[in-house]
Structure formats: structure tokens, C-alpha cells
Amino acid sequence: MDKRFPLEDQIDMLASALRGRVIAPGNADYDTVRLTAAGNFDGRRPAAVIRVATAADVAAVLNFAQATDLEVAVRSGGHSIGGHSASNGGLVIDLRDLDSLEIDAKAATAWCGAGLTAGEVTEAVQQHGMIIGFGDAATVGIGGLTLGGGVGFLARKHGLTIDHLLAAEIVTANGDILVVDADHHADLFWAIRGGGGNFGVVTRLKYRIHPLPSFIGGPLILPATAEVLAGFVAAAEAAPDELTVIANVMPAPPLPFLPPALHGQTILMGMMAYAGGAEAAERALAPFRALATPLADLVGPAPLSSMYIPEDPTLRLSVTCRSLFTAGIDTAQASEILAHLDRTDAPMKVAQVRVLGGATARVPAEATAYAHRKSRVLVGYLAMYPDPAETLAQDYWAEQGITALRNGEDSVYVNFLGTEGHDRIRAAYPDMTWNRLRAVKRQYDPENLFRLNQNIPPAA
């Protein structure tokens, strides 16, 4: 690229060579398109957002970025807690127009464009009586969700999202367009299953889809006491693999099925997901209902997509998240969790506990770059607030909460990392996994072009 020309002119020339659309600061929708899901990063102004239409578009943008020394951010759904899907002065490769979806119900597979959201794919495959195990939010892009691992409502029954992944189309730093699977570029296929966006731009993903003839799910709302929370986690660990639960300890939102007197009071909202029939589900759910008289019980037959809590697209808040893998939650730790929630004035705050095990734990740790297969519980603090100036204070609150629960444990889920820095990224991977990832990084991205992520530097 001829650097004698202004960057704006060079971007115009790039636009003429792409099938997709380039949105630059002069475009009317630039200030809308450049935003990510979290308000923390609204100040970032990229040189351009490129809504790519093909993998070839991605390759052209990567070549352009290297010729102009511009940093590259890659965006699937835009929910990166660390702000990695935004750039200040660089290029944003926005995958949202890569929304192709090819479902082969007979073969039980689906090729999905990386710009699709978990909700969109779930809605589509359930029309065939099938499911893919994604996370717990409909608007999250399947690209970033999958590359980090994917811990969701069916984790104990069917494993992580990466355990459904059969193949992927990926554009590497040198512009090669590869299809990777267990037999082709197997090292790269291993790395993208838990190693995040360090190795290229994934444009399509092929998943195994599973039949789900019957599903029982919904929120079970209980009083938030230390005994109830600790008992809830113990019951979840003892439950059959068909039941996956996520416990959210939080101020009660103004839901119509809760008495007004409860609004704003701390509750335990258990999101219960049972992959099976009603009679077996009743037996599995009984220990949870016995912990205390439920404040509300909306668990029943429903499509899996009903588990996604509706989101207000007009509500843009800043977000803080900190998390930790731990061996469990006892009554003392549960008491600390409840007390810590009162130490922030964020209008929306959650202590979330995900009980793992089951199919997730039966995959060998070395099989994928997500290596925390034996971790039993994932606990995290989340705060959402309107003023990004509060970020440092909320980060401190969340970090203090995790420190109090650490008890010698330090490992973390890469998709829940925010802006903590290299040490916490390093804590996402055991030594053998980390060293292998660095070797794959050296092979496919030796110059670390893909560094706006939970970055893994190439081996020396």
C-alpha cells in the first residue's frame, strides 16, 4: 500500500475491492456501528469498521492492515468484556453479515456463519428438534463464545460448545483461508477450541447438533441465604448429568411474577435446564425445591430458547466481570458472597455460580485448549452501571470479591476475562497448554497481528 496517500484514501481503495461494506468516520451510521455491547469502550474510534461479506474480504482486510500497520479488532457479537472487539484508530473486522446457516438434520450437523448469535442459531436448530450447547445469552456471537470454550445450559449433558465443534473455516494472518478439523491442521483446530481469537479470524463453524425431544427449564427463585446458596450448589453437584443449573444471586428485578415488596431484595434465581422428560425432571428438581419455599417457580416444559432472558437493546451499560474456578461453595463462602454484593452500589449486580462436571469433565484435559475439565464450579461477580467513570471502582469491587473466595485457587475461564492483564490470561491455561498454544501461535501468527484479545504471545 502506497503510504504517500492519506489513510482515508487508502481505506476508500480498500472498500472498492471488497464485497462487504466499509463504514468510516464520515458515514452517517459510523457512531452506531462502532459501538460494542459494553459502554466502557464508547470512546474508541476505529479508522474503519469493515462489515465483511466473505472470507476473501477478511483476507484482504488483513493484508491491508499489515501494509498500513493498523491494529485489527475482530467482532462477532461485540460482547468482549475486555473491549477486544473495539479499536481506537485501527480496523474492526465485523463478522455480523456472515450469517449463513446450513442445517443438515439427517447428518446432525450445522455450518454456521460466525456473525450469527447464539439465539439465532438456537431458534433455527430447535425447529428441527435439535440443539447446540451455547451459553446463557441470546445476543452473544457464536464466534467468540465458541473460541473461548462455551459454558452454557447443557454443559453437564453435552459438554462445552467446543465439544460440539467439528470443523471451522479460518483466515490466518498471512491471508490463507483454511478449513480445519481433527484431520486437517489439527494443531490449529486444537488451539481454537479454548485459545480464543489468537490464531486467525474464524468465519464459519461446523457443529454437531443433538436431538432434544424433551426439555424442562426456567427460573426457580429462592430466598438468598448462605444455607440456601451452599445447598443449591451441593444439590447441583449431586444432580444427574441431564440437569445443568446456573445460580444468580442478585437484587430482584421488577418481574411481574414477584411481589412488589421483593423488588430490589436479594434473591437466588436458579436457571434450571433439564434435558429430558417431566417425570425425571421432577425427581432431579426436588432437592432444590426442598431448600426453601420458592418465591417463584416457573420451571416447566419449554423450548431451550426460552432460557435466554430478554435483553433491552436500548439499554447500554458499562460492564465489570471477574471470575474464578473453584472446588465448591460452602456456607462460609456463600455468606461472603451475599455480604460482598452489598459492597457495591451498581444498579445491576450479580454473583453467578455455574456448576460444571458431567460431560464437560469427561473430555480429556489435553483434547482441547480449554483445559479446566476437572474444575467443579465457576463463580463470578458481574456489575453493570451507566457511568463508565465508575469502571475502576467496580473492577476493584469484583477483584476483592474473587480474592476473598480464592482459597489457593487461581484458574480462570478465558471468556470471562476483562482488563485484568497478562497474569490473569496466563491463569487461564496450565503450563503445558500455554506452551503448546504459544507454539501454534508462532506457526500461524508469528508477528502477533491478532493481539486485541486475551493475548497469547508467539513462542520465541
CATH number (3.40.50.800, 3.40.462.20, 3.40.630.30, 3.30.70.360) of 216-423 reads 3.40.462.20
From 271, 425, 430, select the one nearest 365 (Cα to Cα): 430
Calpha distance 91→66 (Å, rounded): 11
- Does pLDDT of 1 surpass 90? no
Mean per-residue pLDDT of the chain: 96
pLDDT above 70 as % of the chain? 99
Question: Per residue in 96-117, pLDDT tens?
Answer: 999 999 999 999 999 999 999 9
- Does pLDDT of 3 surpass 90? no
Question: Per residue in 427-455, pLDDT tens?
Answer: 999 999 999 999 999 999 999 999 999 99
CATH topology of 7-94 equal to that of 101-212+431-444? no
The DSSP letter of residue 447 is T
Residue 270: the pLDDT is 98
Task: Give residue limits of the domains in the chain.
Answer: 7-94, 101-212+431-444, 216-423
Residue 313: the pLDDT is 75
Residue 4: the pLDDT is 65
Q: Is 448 left (phi over 0), alpha (psi -120 to 50) or beta?
A: left
- The domain defined by 101-212+431-444 folds into 3.30.465
CATH of domain 7-94: 3.30.43.10
Question: Per residue in 169-219, pLDDT tens?
Answer: 999 999 999 999 999 999 999 999 999 999 999 999 999 999 999 999 999
281-152-301 Cα angle (round to 5): 30
- Average pLDDT, integer, range 366-380: 97
Calpha distance 158→242 (Å, rounded): 9
